[in-house]
Structure 1
Amino acid sequence: MAVYYDQQAEAYLNTRPTYPSDWYSKLASLTPNRTLAWDAGTGNGQAAIGVAEHYEKVIATDVSEGQIKHAIPHPKVRYVHTPLSMSEDELVSLIGGEGSVDLVTVAVAVHWFDLPSFYSLVNRVLRKPEGIIAVWGYKNFTVDPVFDSVMKHFIETASPFYNPNIRYINDSYRTLPFPFESVGIGSEGNALIFDLTQELSFDEALKELSSWSVVSIAKEQGVDLLFEGIVKELKSAWGDQSNLIKTVNRKAFMIAGKPRI
């Protein structure tokens, strides 16, 4: 998936929602030590900089070099491009070594990972027994019945091009393997559900849609999902004014846990 996020890195940076500060406060409260955190699949770094408010240092990694180049700078965050060719031992060393990490976060990315390999790596780098891993995601945004109806049609048109792993998002991580002991924030098969809201104009909403990996995947196969007709339908349903600000709503979900000793 790295190539698709390379192509859409700038749009991703400018349109994706930020996460509430109390998410990070809650996670930090669960780790007695706050020396080192690792944000895996960091994308534009929005989760990394939130984590950095509570930890001395954050290593933020991504297989997409384009995302790393567009990531948000922060004095306590070190961004590192980690191509898929890197070995587990190389990654352990890069992140900080065995048992060095207090918190691992993955924001809207874990469903793309090779989960057995990733979880093996997490178990090696987390401090034991108090290190924590937290993963979260969110569903497509909703606005109102008129706009949502057009969005539903757009998503149905896009569905043949989705990666099968999108099923984890669609079921709110209920079927996502998560072999860690619960710490009171969801558990395997039962993620904690949150409401996530954001103020967007139509132009901003359209930029977010253009940043979806499925749009790039379809385009490579000769299909323009955001063709002129569907954009006009979406804009009309929004209210025909590109600068009209609306509240968009998302259902977010999180699971956190610690290594099973």
Structure 2
Amino acid sequence: MAGVFDKNSKQYAQRRPRYPKEWFSMLASLTPEHKVAWDAGTSTGQAALSVVEHYDQVIATDVSKTQIEHAAQHPKVCYLHTPIATTEDELVNMLGGDNSIDLIISATAVHWFDLPFFYSFANRVLKKPHGIIAVWTYSYDVRDLEKSMKMVREAVLPYSDPKTYYLLERYKKLPFPFETVGHGSEGSPIELDMEIEASLHEFVESFKTGSPFIEAKGNRILSSRLNDC
């Protein structure tokens, strides 16, 4: 996965949408302490830069060194490259030890993870009993472009990694073995509107940062369909 997003990290940082500030305020309200948050799979730091408004420190990790190099800097965000070879104990030490994290977030990234390992590890580093883990994704629902979007989705489908299955299903089938705190649960994620104003060009450029498009970048049919939307 890291290799896929290494190819367009600069564009990813520029084009991926920001999440609503209200979302992070809600998450912060769920943890009694606000010392450390961990952004797992931070990519270029979109979520880290928002959640840091509520915590003393955010540790933002990613397997892609190139993505982190393009992340916007913040004095309270510590970006760490965590290659696949990073051991569990090494990662625990990076995060401050067992029972050390108030909030774990993963923004449009958890579907890439080894889920059993990640969930077991999350239970290890979350503070007991009040640590919170939240994962989420988003999808493109564009008014007046339903037909074009369907055509593009069909075009990129052959280039989609199997791990994106959970994303395509909007995390409705994502395993999530944690007790609900009233904001979604396994099989029943909450759905929220995230309205973004963008020109058609900006939307297309954002869509191009997706992994299927990156894999199919040299395919003339796909490029033509995107340009015709």
Q: What interval of TM-score do these two structures reach, taking the shorter chain for normalisation?
A: over 0.9
Q: How does 1:62-141 map to 2 (within 5 A)?
A: 62-141=62-141
Deviations 1:183-231 (A, max 9, x none): 1110111001001111111221121122111112224xx534542x324
Quote how far apart the aligned CAs of 1:170 are: 2.2
Q: Pick closer, same or farther for the CA change 1:95–1:225 going to 2, 3 Å.
A: farther
Indicate conservation of the 8 Å contact 2:58/2:76, yes or no. yes
Q: Secondary structure at the match of 2:192?
A: strand
Q: How does 1:1-261 map to 2 (within 5 A)?
A: 1-144=1-144, 147-219=145-217, 223-224=219-220, 226-227=222-223, 229-234=224-229
More strand by share: 1
Distance 2:111 2:140 in 1: 15
Aligned-residue identity in percent = 49
Deviations 1:53-90 (A, max 9, x none): 00000000011111100111111100111100101111
Indicate conservation of the 8 Å contact 2:40/2:60, yes or no. yes
Q: Secondary structure at the match of 2:197?
A: strand
Amino acid corresponding to residue 114 of structure 2 in structure 1: D
Amino acid corresponding to residue 223 of structure 1 in structure 2: N
Amino acid corresponding to residue 230 of structure 1 in structure 2: R
Amino acid corresponding to residue 19 of structure 2 in structure 1: Y
Indicate conservation of the 8 Å contact 2:38/2:104, yes or no. yes
Distance 2:68 2:16 in 1: 15
Deviations 1:228-251 (A, max 9, x none): x324421xxxxxxxxxxxxxxxxx
Quote how far apart the aligned CAs of 1:114 are: 0.5
Moved more, 49-58 or 204-213: 204-213
Q: Secondary structure at the match of 2:193?
A: strand
Distance 2:227 2:161 in 1: 27
- Root-mean-square deviation (CA), in Å? 1.3
Q: Secondary structure at the match of 2:191?
A: strand
Give every structure 1 segment of 4 or more consecutive aligned residues whose post-TM-superposition deviation is greater than 6 Å.
none
Distance 1:41 1:23 in 2: 18
Deviations 1:67-119 (A, max 9, x none): 10011111110011110010111111111110000000000000111001111
Distance 1:13 1:3 in 2: 16
Q: Who is 1:241 aligned against?
A: none
Quote how far apart the aligned CAs of 1:141 are: 3.6
Q: Secondary structure at the match of 2:47?
A: helix
Bigger Rg, structure 1 or 2: 1
Indicate conservation of the 8 Å contact 2:16/2:209, yes or no. no
Q: Secondary structure at the match of 1:61?
A: strand
Q: Pick closer, same or farther for the CA change 1:231–1:184 going to 2, 3 Å.
A: closer
Q: Who is 1:258 aligned against?
A: none
In structure 1, list runs of 5 or more residues that go unmatched.
235-261
Amino acid corresponding to residue 49 of structure 1 in structure 2: L
Structure 1 length-normalised TM: 0.84
Distance 2:101 2:77 in 1: 14
Q: Pick closer, same or farther for the CA change 1:67–1:225 going to 2, 3 Å.
A: farther
Distance 2:141 2:9 in 1: 19
Structure 2 length-normalised TM: 0.96
Q: Pick closer, same or farther for the CA change 1:231–1:218 going to 2, 3 Å.
A: closer
Q: Secondary structure at the match of 1:181?
A: coil
